[in-house]
């Protein structure tokens, strides 16, 4: 699936909840809980993206020309957001990742989590994901 | 007695919905909301009396100067300070601490000296001293906490050496709400002839503060945590330091005469107030002081204490809750965690129910390291909060815990 198709799928998935924010957040929490564990060797000090409040660890590996991201967070809602972003960007080509605008986050009503308060580290995580993609692109 | 309903009517911001729920504002430790009379005092100044102060001969300048100096007297009386020149208007608590630190570093502090602070200090009362220490081979010493997260005053005595030149402590921990026993601290300090600076950012909003009785050398607080505007604060200097603290922020308005060779500085508070101050803010702050005095600081303290006790007892009934700062001597604040949950998640979901709490390290990372946690959820009260709000908060907190587990 392309980035765009993934975004469409997630948007449709969240449309189902309508205005029921409690159900939406319960889903987000479930996504966070089911996020595959990051490899322990990738959960290191130098891979920490520190938000003011919650912390994110990001791993990126180039496999067959595509970037496979893995990540973790100590806060479950952040982890749910991480799961969504990984679903969209992981397994994509670096050049597509760099261009991705992730507008689906706005469409599913979770834009507040990408506000630049640096509380949760998500904005920094996305920047870091794109940076990794850029580095791997130039490495090719 | 507090008529919370009548008080709430004076705070327009409280009458609104956040995420379709009535706003419950429990982040008063960060900043309090402002009563209409404060907002109107600021607006009225700009509408009718705005001019620069201490300079002009024209009528508006005189009116503005009078209002500003009246505000100084209002604040001085509020803190029971006889000479209003001992009240210096700053940009806030942080600004006040930096003024003290920079002034002391010019005369009082020598290379290799030691400064004592408490383990629960806000970063604002750590960083200026740490910076001075790192530049001057000085040492920052810390009064440790006991099991109940109150200060270990016996340990303080042992920290003192002939090189100790200042004890700088907060009166109320912004994270835990725990009260410092300042009588003990000042008694020990006097015995060793060490000056004391008190950070009153979290005490001045919640309790009567009598600076004559307190007998500290320096006291700082912020207007915006006492129902006043942001960007205004108070630095109190004892008579001795009013004369002896070197000025560290030179600028317009602080002088008697200036030549290119040298400057003679003004006496009194003006020496520490360079440039055009936040005139409207200071006038708004005086109105906030009148607001709290009409209710009475003692009444406010008792009412908020009742709210803290009420909330704390209900929180204790939830088995997953861990409360920090178990000492009974507390003002206005409760910090807690939910076992196995991140404070960020709790705060995010409470916000969805219109409840504003603070989460994180509260600018007290060393305290977090001592407690071995990353952060807490903090609720902090003001005079307009009610038991009904606490009930609603607890109902939703239980819901949030269920959602997360």
What is the rounded average pLDDT of the residues B288-294? Answer: 98
Across the interface, whether the CB atoms of B403 and A119 are under 8 A apart is answered no
Classify domain B39-294 at the CATH topology level. Answer: 3.40.640
Chain B residues with beta carbon closer than 8 angstroms to that of A120? 344
**The pLDDT of residue B344:** 93
User: Which distant-in-sequence residues (6+ apart) come within 8 Å of A123 by Cβ?
Assistant: A114, A115, A116
**The pLDDT of residue B90:** 98
In the beta sheet, which residues pair with residue B198?
Answer: B169, B219
Across the interface, whether the CB atoms of A22 and B403 are under 8 A apart is answered yes
Chain B residues with beta carbon closer than 8 angstroms to that of A27? none
* Residue where the block lists tokens 């939910």: B338
Across the interface, whether the CB atoms of A77 and B352 are under 8 A apart is answered no
Is B236 in contact with B196 (CB distance < 8 Å)?
no
Confidence of residue B67 (pLDDT cuts 50, 70, 90): very high
Q: Quick check: B362 pLDDT over 60? A: yes
Of B342, B349, B404, which is closest to A54 when you measure between CB atoms? B342
**The pLDDT of residue B382:** 98
Residue in chain B closest to A31 (alpha carbons) equals B404
- pLDDT tens-digit map of B138-196: 999 999 999 989 999 999 999 999 999 999 999 999 999 999 999 999 999 999 999 99
Chain A residues with beta carbon closer than 8 angstroms to that of B30? none
Q: Element (H or E) spanning A60, and its range? A: strand A55-63
What is the rounded average pLDDT of the residues B47-53? Answer: 97
Share of chain B above pLDDT 90, in %: 93
Q: Looking at the domain covering A3-139, what would its CATH class be? A: alpha beta
- pLDDT tens-digit map of A45-60: 888 887 777 888 988 9
In the beta sheet, which residues pair with residue B333?
Answer: B380
Reported in sequence order, the residue ranges of B306-395 that DSSP labels E, i.e. its strands, are 321-324, 333-338, 355-356, 358-360, 376-380
**The pLDDT of residue A126:** 87
How many other C-beta atoms can be found within 10 angstroms of the C-beta atom of residue A24?
18
Query: Which position among A12, A23, A52, A135 bears the catalytic label?
Result: A52
Domain ranges in chain A are 3-139
Is B133 in contact with B104 (CB distance < 8 Å)?
no
Q: Quick check: A91 pLDDT over 90? A: yes
* pTM: predicted TM-score of the whole model, two decimal places: 0.93
In the beta sheet, which residues pair with residue A71?
Answer: A58
Q: Quick check: B345 pLDDT over 80? A: yes
What is the rounded average pLDDT of the residues B245-267? Answer: 90
What is the rounded average pLDDT of the residues B235-253? Answer: 94
Cα–Cα dist B331/B201, whole Å: 12
Cα–Cα dist B257/B265, whole Å: 7
User: Which distant-in-sequence residues (6+ apart) come within 8 Å of B235 by Cβ?
Assistant: B87, B88, B89, B90, B95, B96, B99, B100, B218, B219, B220, B272
Q: Quick check: A65 pLDDT over 80? A: yes
**The pLDDT of residue A118:** 61
**The pLDDT of residue A113:** 81
- pLDDT tens-digit map of A97-140: 999 988 888 888 888 887 766 666 788 888 889 998 998 888 75
Structure tokens at B404: 């997360």
What is the rounded average pLDDT of the residues A28-33? Answer: 94
User: Which distant-in-sequence residues (6+ apart) come within 8 Å of B313 by Cβ?
Assistant: none
What is the rounded average pLDDT of the residues B100-125? Answer: 97
Query: Which position among B363, B368, B373, B404 bears the catalytic label?
Result: B363
B289, B293, B296, B301 alpha-carbon torsion, rounded to 10°: 0
Cα–Cα dist B336/B180, whole Å: 20
Across the interface, whether the CB atoms of B344 and A25 are under 8 A apart is answered no
Higher-scoring residue by pLDDT: A37, B342: B342
CATH architecture of B4-31+296-404: Alpha-Beta Complex (3.90)
Cα–Cα dist B398/B319, whole Å: 11
Domain ranges in chain B are 4-31+296-404, 39-294
Higher-scoring residue by pLDDT: A119, B297: B297
What is the rounded average pLDDT of the residues B131-135? Answer: 97
Is A69 in contact with A21 (CB distance < 8 Å)?
no
**The pLDDT of residue A117:** 67
What is the rounded average pLDDT of the residues B196-206? Answer: 98
Q: Could you confirm whether B363 is annotated as catalytic? A: yes
Confidence of residue B321 (pLDDT cuts 50, 70, 90): very high
């Amino acid at each position: 699936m392309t980035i765009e198709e993934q975004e469409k799928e997630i948007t449709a998935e969240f449309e189902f909840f309508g205005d029921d924010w409690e159900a939406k957040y319960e889903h987000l929490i479930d996504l966070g809980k089911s996020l595959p564990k990051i490899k322990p060797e990738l959960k290191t000090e130098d891979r920490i993206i520190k938000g003011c409040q919650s912390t994110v660890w990001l791993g990126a590996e180039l496999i067959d020309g595509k970037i496979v991201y893995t990540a973790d967070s100590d806060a479950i809602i952040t982890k749910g957001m991480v799961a969504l972003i990984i679903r969209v960007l992981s397994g994509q080509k670096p050049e597509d990742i760099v261009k991705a605008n992730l507008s689906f986050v706005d469409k599913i009503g979770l834009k507040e989590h990408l506000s630049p308060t640096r509380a949760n580290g998500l904005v920094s995580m996305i920047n870091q994901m794109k940076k990794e993609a850029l580095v791997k692109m130039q490495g090719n | 007695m507090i008529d919370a309903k009548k008080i709430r009517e004076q705070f327009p911001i409280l009458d609104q919905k956040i995420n379709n729920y009535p706003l419950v504002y429990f982040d008063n430790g960060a900043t309090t909301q402002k009563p209409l009379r404060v907002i109107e005092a600021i607006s009225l100044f700009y509408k009718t009396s705005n001019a620069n102060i201490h300079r002009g001969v024209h009528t508006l300048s005189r009116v503005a100067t009078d209002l500003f100096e009246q505000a100084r007297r209002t604040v001085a009386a509020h803190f029971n300070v006889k000479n209003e020149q001992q009240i210096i208007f700053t940009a806030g608590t942080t600004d006040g601490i930096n003024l003290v630190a920079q002034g002391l570093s010019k005369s009082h502090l020598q290379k290799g000296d030691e400064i004592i602070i408490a383990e629960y200090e806000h970063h604002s009362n750590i960083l200026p001293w740490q910076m001075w220490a790192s530049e001057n081979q000085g040492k920052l010493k810390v009064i440790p906490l006991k099991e109940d997260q109150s200060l270990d005053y016996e340990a303080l005595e042992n920290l003192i050496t002939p090189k100790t030149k200042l004890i700088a402590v907060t009166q109320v921990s912004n994270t835990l709400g725990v009260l410092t026993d300042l009588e003990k601290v000042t008694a020990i300090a006097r015995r060793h002839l060490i000056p004391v600076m008190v950070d009153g950012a979290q005490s001045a909003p919640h309790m009567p503060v009598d600076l004559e009785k307190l007998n500290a050398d320096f006291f700082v607080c912020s207007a915006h945590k006492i129902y006043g505007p942001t960007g205004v604060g108070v630095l109190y200097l004892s008579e001795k330091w009013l004369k002896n603290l070197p000025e560290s922020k030179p600028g317009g308005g602080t002088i008697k005469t200036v030549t290119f060779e040298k400057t003679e500085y003004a006496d009194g508070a003006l020496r520490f107030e360079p440039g055009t101050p936040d005139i409207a803010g200071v006038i708004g702050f005086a109105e906030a002081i009148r607001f709290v005095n009409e209710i009475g600081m003692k009444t406010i303290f008792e009412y908020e204490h009742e709210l803290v006790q009420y909330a704390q007892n209900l929180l204790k009934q939830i088995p997953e809750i861990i409360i920090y700062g178990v000492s009974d001597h507390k003002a206005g604040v409760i910090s807690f965690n939910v076992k196995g949950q991140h404070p960020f998640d709790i705060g995010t979901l409470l916000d969805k129910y219109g409840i504003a709490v603070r989460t994180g390290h509260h600018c007290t990372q060393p305290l977090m390291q001592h407690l071995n946690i990353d952060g807490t959820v903090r609720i902090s009260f003001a005079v307009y909060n009610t038991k009904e709000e606490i009930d609603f908060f607890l109902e939703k907190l239980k819901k949030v815990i269920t959602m997360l587990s």
